[in-house]
Amino acid sequence: MVKMVVLLVREESLSYEEFRSYWEEEHAPLVEELPGVERYVTSHPTDPEKSAYDGVAEVYFEDMATLGAAFDSDAGEALLADAEEFSDQDAGEVLYMDEETRFVAD
């Protein structure tokens, strides 16, 4: 299992509330259209004014080949284009990670 972790910074013209609303209502549904996507998790800062990032998105795929094919698809291109509508693509970071669960508490 691999995941793409995106550290999001909002577009300067948007308030945090506008950014989050767009992300949740407009952008998140596009993630579901990605071929091969297995899981999508979002995290939000508890205090946005003190956070270096406005949110974190984790998108899970079986492997890097599936991830690459997803973003080469029409749905992937649409998702990337939409990201520019609400986030500063130059200020954020993207990480590609192998995830290993060490334990799950009861």
Residue 29 belongs to some domain of the structure: yes
Number of structural domains found in the chain: 1
Instruction: Note the pLDDT tens digit of each residue in 66-80.
Output: 999 999 999 999 999
Q: Please give the pLDDT value at position 91.
A: 96
Give me the helix-helix angle, 64-72 and 74-86, nearest 10°.
80
Residue 104 belongs to some domain of the structure: no
Residue 65 Cα distances to 1, 43, 69, 73, angstroms: 11, 25, 6, 12
Q: Please give the pLDDT value at position 21.
A: 97
Residue 105 belongs to some domain of the structure: no
Contact 82, 6 (CB under 8 A): no
Which phi and psi (to 5°) does residue 54 adopt? Answer: -90, -10
Domain that holds residue 8: 2-98
The helix/strand/coil state of 77 is helix
Q: What is the CATH number of the domain that holds 73?
A: 3.30.70.100
Q: Please give the pLDDT value at position 72.
A: 98
Residue 103 belongs to some domain of the structure: no
Q: Please give the pLDDT value at position 97.
A: 97
Element (H, E) at 56: strand 55-61
Instruction: Note the pLDDT tens digit of each residue in 26-82.
Output: 999 999 999 999 999 999 999 999 999 999 999 999 999 999 999 999 999 999 999
Tokens representing residue 31 in the block:
């993630």
Q: Please give the pLDDT value at position 49.
A: 92
